[in-house]
Structure 1
Amino acid sequence: MSEVAPGMLLVATPALLDPNFADSVVLMLDVDDSGALGVILNQPSPVPVAEVLAGWSEVVAEPGVLFRGGPVSTEGALAVGLLRASAEAPVGFKEVVGRLGLVDLDTPVELVDGWLDGMRIFAGYAGWGPDQLEGEIEEGSWYVVPGEAPDVFRDDPSELWRDVLRRQPGQLAWHSTRPVDPDMN
């Protein structure tokens, strides 16, 4: 699983039949011998952050809703934040890659507010056991591509899948133009 690392993106291929991940883009947060963990970036929920975690509603990026991070532990929440360029990591921030990291939602908001250029809260996460993700990649369920911080904090993530593929080199970019229903092509 050497090509999958924190900060990388998994982009669902048409071969991925699991409805939890159809056309999804997953940001990898942790990858090691015991498994992998990430969050789905392009599945916003209709639930405003203010309804669930009121103190954080002023800190999160637009559209200000919880995102469905994945099918595991959907009653829990993970927050991903982007440190400001000149900021040092505040209390409650754990670096994932570069300025991107996890924000501990038990940290008082005032200790984090002002240190971040963006933050998003995810209900649940996507998780894989040892060798499970590697098997899914080998069977053709995921494209593994570099991530960019703006991918995490888009106001409208509805075209994220296509945009991420479009910026890839070579033939991989061609996949961004596939129709939603290939039978209609």
Structure 2
Amino acid sequence: MVMTEVSSLTGRLLVATPSLADPNFDRAVVLLLDHDEEGTLGVVLNRPTPVGVGDVLEPWARLAGVPQVVFQGGPVSLDSALGLAVVPGEAPGGEGAPAEPLGWRRVHGAIGLVDLEAPPELLAAELGSLRIFAGYAGWGPGQLEDELVEGAWYVVESEPGDISSPAPEGLWRSVLRRQRNELAMVATYPDDPSLN
């Protein structure tokens, strides 16, 4: 089978459809950090844990957004931490565009990955918000595309505020509600359709 060119979904959101049966992704909102012919990597934005950022990465705690907890980014590598942050300002490109701060790598728009090995002071003045994730979601080559064909996910545009939502439990509904098509109606889908 010849692999056709994969249109990159990096920076977009995967929103679990109500029919997605995998409990790891029930009502999940996943920000895609990397998507190409080699596979896909993302983090679940709406799975806060009871673990405080200060309990595991104390130097970064004061930069973490509310709620100041570690989020479960997905079922893969739960023992690894990943930092995502918004750096306000335009993407580099034109004259006078700001350089990317040391310790931060742009993923999409104002959203980027934070080098958690770097001293937090390097980024303190630059970061608009920071969120720490334990683990990530990953798909092998073609796996996500198959799930999209099966109707497991909606693909929608992300907004910088999605990674720092102060009410992450409501993110699934709020992302769907802001869509300008029939997806806005899916936001009203009951948690348990059998009770309807």
Provide the residue aligned with 1:121 in structure 2.
Answer: 132
Deviations 1:49-96 (A, max 9, x none): 001000000011111100000000000011101113275321111110
Q: Which of 18, 21, 44 does residue 17 from structure 1 map onto?
A: 21
Give 1:64-143 correspondences, 5 Å limit: 64-85=68-89, 88-143=99-154
Gapped regions of structure 2 (runs ≥ 5): 1-5, 91-97
Deviations 1:4-23 (A, max 9, x none): 52210000012211111000
Q: Secondary structure in 2 aligned to 1:136?
A: helix
Shift of 1:119: 0.7
Q: Secondary structure in 1 aligned to 2:62?
A: coil
Distance in 2 (CA, whole Å) between partners of 1:55 and 1:107 is 10
Q: Secondary structure in 2 aligned to 1:177?
A: coil
Bigger Cα Rg: 2
Q: Which of 44, 49, 55 does residue 45 from structure 1 map onto?
A: 49
Provide the residue aligned with 1:56 in structure 2.
Answer: 60
Amino acid at match of 2:62: E
Q: Is the 8 A contact 2:18 2:189 kept in 1?
A: no
Quote the RMSD (CA, aligned, Å).
1.1
Distance in 2 (CA, whole Å) between partners of 1:102 and 1:135 is 27
Q: Percent identity?
A: 51
Q: Is the 8 A contact 2:53 2:70 kept in 1?
A: yes
Give the structure-1-normalised TM-score: 0.96
Task: Give the total of aligned pairs.
Answer: 184
Q: Secondary structure in 1 aligned to 2:63?
A: coil
